[in-house]
Chains A and B, each alone.
Chain A
Amino acid sequence: MNLRRRYLRDRLMVGLVYLGTSVVLLPLLLIIGYVFVKGVGALNWDFFTKPPAPPGEGGGGMLPAIVGTFIIDLMALAMGGLLGLGGGVLMAEYPEHPLNRPLRMVANVLGGIPAILMGLFAFVVVVLPMGGFSAFSGSVALAILMIPIIMRSTEEVLKLLPWELREAGLALGLPRWRVTLSLILPAAKGGIVTGLLLALARAAGEAAPLLFTAFGNQFLSFDPLGPMDSLPLKIYVYAISPYEDWIQQAWGAALLLALMLMLTNFIARRAMRRR
């Protein structure tokens, strides 16, 4: 009797946990499902291979935006990743360093600044002196966005490693930088890459920092010093337009962006597991 009641209570609780989980997952599934239903119709061969057509003419595609997204985001990851990693390593491995306190404060403040201000900053320090909008300036804005995320995740991951690992390295006579480079970073590789991916995912979805930096371009461009298009920018411009086919393409672009991020995530995780 008592036992059965306990079983019953157990099952009830497990049921509640499942319910809670599904409630949490529901918005995610709804968003992905809705974007999929709305956007899948826009994905055709032209969408991937053609530049956009003049408004009202119909047709055209997203090729410049797709290529631009890759170029801008990868440049941003290269810049932001390097600086963020450096900051994270400093904070975790050299806790006594005098730069740590201001660095932590900068990371916290930077993390709380709206993304559009990063764009404004890049406009003032890169676009104005260089006399023109450029993909590079967009990458700078996104890199600044990534730095605090990467810094914090790197620090967290490195702090999880047992201190004995470092002591073992030092005991073998390795200098400190060598311990970090050859022992700590490889051991924390998985977590660091996850942090980089999180930052990439966050930045790849941002349109605001690119408005007055990467600027947009209806032609396919590989020139990092010229204006370049990007999927979030296209979504922003197309979604508020009155043209039916542009709105349709905005849904398609949103779907593509979501798929690309999921795919990057998946591939990186698989590659990590194999090594």
Chain B
Amino acid sequence: MKKPVLVVLALTLGMALAQSVSLNGAGATFPYPLYAKYFDAYQKLTGVRVNYQSIGSGGGIRQLFAQTVHFGASDAPLSDEKIAEFEQKFGTQVIHVPTALGAVVPSYNLPGVTQPLNFSGPVLADIFLGKIKKWNDPALAELNPGVKLPALPITVVHRSDGSGTTYIWTEYLAKVSPEWKAKVGVGKSVSWPTGLGGKGNEGVAGLVRQVPGAIGYNELIYALQNKIAYGAVQNRAGKFVLADLASVRAAAELKDFPADTRVSITDTPAPEGYPIASFTWILVYRDLDKDKAVKSRAEAEALARLLDWVIHDGQRYNEALHYAALPEVAVKVSEANLAGLRYHNEPLNQK
């Protein structure tokens, strides 16, 4: 009677011990569909299991500071103050590893309107400030000649959790609208003048889908995968641009790339560039032994190898999921950064 129980126990224990390295990460929902694909492929390739939970960029940064994860993920780079706090607290640097480029699109639910609408930065700011209340507002009609806009009230949908997508969105709106900058500002979570909150990119997409007349903001893939309509946005050159790989890539063509990779590409001057695009980052400790979640040299090495794979071979998964691959210059800078990863002051073997 007791024997089968023991056998099962031994088996379970054996399986637990035989398991190869597993890494844990948490953060941004913006690249979640891509990361899920990366880590699914990486597990099949190497057997290393990377568990990623999309709890929002704010949560990802918090867990990185709490040392409960091997890596955090965020679409907003750490601010200078946060970096200073990190360095002072942990005695090491934080490394930003860009993994992909994405676009944040104004997603909306307007029954009866089939062609993509045109938006401009100031109009989007006014909508999210609650100043434009109806879909047939003259400001919107002027941008969309020939489109029959319904007299539906606009329901603004925004994120309820700390979000890098929110950071990108508000950073862009602050660049194009002085009123937005003064009243709401830039951040991973801001005090919204109006609207409903959804948790994660998933939550916002879900709400927009359910509420006729709703407008929200989503990473492009969430709009595409869920067949939610999204609009074109007027860039600095005056052109209405729909978010796609080409327009995001155009926005990311930078001459000089900062060594810490913290760069904003919203409101791009590129004539063909989409104005609300951004890099998304994985954040790790440079001295991996300082992160309590990293329990052994083997784990540190697995993490270094994973990141190396993501910025090289992993990039080929980006474009199928509508995230632009990293530009060459970003890969070069990241290689140098990753070469600096250490464990107890010894460099890590990355290959």
Contact (A217, B225) CB under 8 Å given A55-B32, A240-B202, A242-B206 = no
Q: Check: A98 CB closer than 8 A to any chain B CB.
A: no
Taking CB atoms, residues of chain A closer than 8 Å to B295 are 131-132
Cross-chain contact B200 with A240 (CB below 8 angstroms)? yes
Cross-chain contact A55 with B225 (CB below 8 angstroms)? yes
Cross-chain contact B68 with A127 (CB below 8 angstroms)? yes
Contact (A215, B24) CB under 8 Å given A240-B206, A243-B225, A243-B226 = yes
Taking CB atoms, residues of chain B closer than 8 Å to A227 are 24, 51, 53
Cross-chain contact B225 with A56 (CB below 8 angstroms)? yes
Q: Which of A132, A221, A242 contacts B68 (CB 8 A)?
A: A132
Closest to A55 in B: B33
Taking CB atoms, residues of chain A closer than 8 Å to B222 are 242
Q: Check: A226 CB closer than 8 A to any chain B CB.
A: yes
Q: Check: A241 CB closer than 8 A to any chain B CB.
A: yes
Q: Check: A161 CB closer than 8 A to any chain B CB.
A: no
Least CB distance, A5 to chain B, in whole angstroms: 57
Cross-chain contact A221 with B22 (CB below 8 angstroms)? yes
CB-CB contacts of A168-210 with B at 8 A, as 1s and 0s? 0000000000000000000000000000000000000000000
Cross-chain contact A54 with B40 (CB below 8 angstroms)? yes
Q: Check: B6 CB closer than 8 A to any chain A CB.
A: no
Cross-chain contact A132 with B293 (CB below 8 angstroms)? yes
Least CB distance, A64 to chain B, in whole angstroms: 10
Q: Check: A223 CB closer than 8 A to any chain B CB.
A: yes
Cross-chain contact B67 with A131 (CB below 8 angstroms)? yes
Contact residues of A between 121 and 177, Cβ < 8 Å to B: 127-128, 131-133
CB-CB contacts of B209-237 with A at 8 A, as 1s and 0s? 10000000000011001101000000000
Q: Check: A13 CB closer than 8 A to any chain B CB.
A: no
* Alpha-carbon gap, A86 to B297, bound state (A): 43
Least CB distance, B59 to chain A, in whole angstroms: 9
Stretch from B12-20, B83-91, B169-177, B324-332 that touches the partner: B12-20
* Alpha-carbon gap, A15 to B40, bound state (A): 60
Contact (A241, B206) CB under 8 Å given A54-B37, A222-B16, A226-B22 = yes
Q: Check: A218 CB closer than 8 A to any chain B CB.
A: yes
Q: Looking at A226, A227, A242, A243, which has the most chain B CB atoms within 10 Å of its CB?
A: A242
Q: Check: B49 CB closer than 8 A to any chain A CB.
A: yes
Closest to B51 in A: A217
Q: Check: B339 CB closer than 8 A to any chain A CB.
A: no
Taking CB atoms, residues of chain A closer than 8 Å to B228 are 242
Q: Check: A119 CB closer than 8 A to any chain B CB.
A: no
* Alpha-carbon gap, A128 to B293, bound state (A): 9
Cross-chain contact A219 with B51 (CB below 8 angstroms)? yes
Cross-chain contact A56 with B33 (CB below 8 angstroms)? yes
Q: Check: B131 CB closer than 8 A to any chain A CB.
A: no
Taking CB atoms, residues of chain A closer than 8 Å to B185 are none
* Alpha-carbon gap, A217 to B39, bound state (A): 12
Closest to A64 in B: B51
Cross-chain contact A219 with B43 (CB below 8 angstroms)? yes
Taking CB atoms, residues of chain A closer than 8 Å to B293 are 131-132
* Alpha-carbon gap, A200 to B295, bound state (A): 33
Cross-chain contact A242 with B22 (CB below 8 angstroms)? no
A-B pairs, 5 with minimum CB distance: A131-B292, A54-B36, A242-B205, A242-B226, A56-B225
Additional pairs, 9, CB under 8 Å, beyond known A242-B226, A243-B226: A54-B33, A54-B36, A57-B37, A131-B293, A216-B51, A223-B16, A227-B53, A240-B199, A242-B209
Interface residues of A (CB under 8 A from B): 53-57, 127-128, 131-133, 215-219, 221-224, 226-227, 240-243
- Write 14 A-B pairs (CB below 8 A) sorted by A numbering: A54-B40, A55-B36, A128-B68, A131-B291, A132-B24, A133-B24, A133-B69, A216-B53, A218-B40, A219-B22, A221-B22, A222-B16, A223-B22, A241-B202
